[in-house]
Amino acid sequence: YLLVYEASITPVGQASNPRRLATPVLVGREHVHIIAGSPGGGVQPQAEMAQREFYVPKTPVPCFALTDTFSVYGTAHLLQGATLDSFLRVGDTFVPITGATIYLNSMPGTPWQRQLVVLNKAKVQVMYVLDAEHQPGAVGGGPGQGGGVGE
């Protein structure tokens, strides 16, 4: 289980509830699709990380992931020489994606952004690396604009 403090419960697709629960919430890990921090939550700049004693350099890779509820465009950070396949097969249950744009599959016209989300690998149905032509901002790129699954 994940233990969440100061949680607010909001039905999917509705405005968030600013009122926080006074008691912790336990959530079964196998039911979590994504974990997203509050808007404006920080991600340590790469220059600062490089000065840490145990920093491992990684290669930023633009990617797209799809669960049965969410579509996520963002950047995966792979070990040098690693592939997306090894990124998903090895390590923790959850994988981090930075600079994420999250789409609720039932409401793709209202995406939201977070500096960091963490995806449950068991919930990922499809994940792939995006080439320059299919990244948001490119002509015809990005989810909902010819860059998503099945488009």
Question: pLDDT, tens digit, for every residue of 56-96?
Answer: 788 899 999 999 999 999 999 988 888 888 888 887 888 99
Q: What pTM was computed for the model?
A: 0.70
> Strand 2-4 to strand 58-66: parallel, antiparallel, or no bridges (unpaired)?
unpaired
Q: Is the pLDDT of residue 149 over 70?
A: no
Q: What percent of the chain has pLDDT over 90?
A: 31
**Quick check: 150 pLDDT over 70?**
no
Q: What is the pLDDT of residue 146?
A: 44
Q: Is residue 91 left, alpha or beta, with left meaning phi > 0 and alpha meaning psi from -120 to 50?
A: left
Which bin fits 75, alpha (ψ -120 to 50), beta or left (φ > 0)? beta
Question: Is the Cα torsion angle 29, 115, 40, 68 positive or negative in sign?
Answer: negative
Amino acid at the residue 89 = R
Tell me the pLDDT band of 139, cut-offs 50, 70 and 90: very low
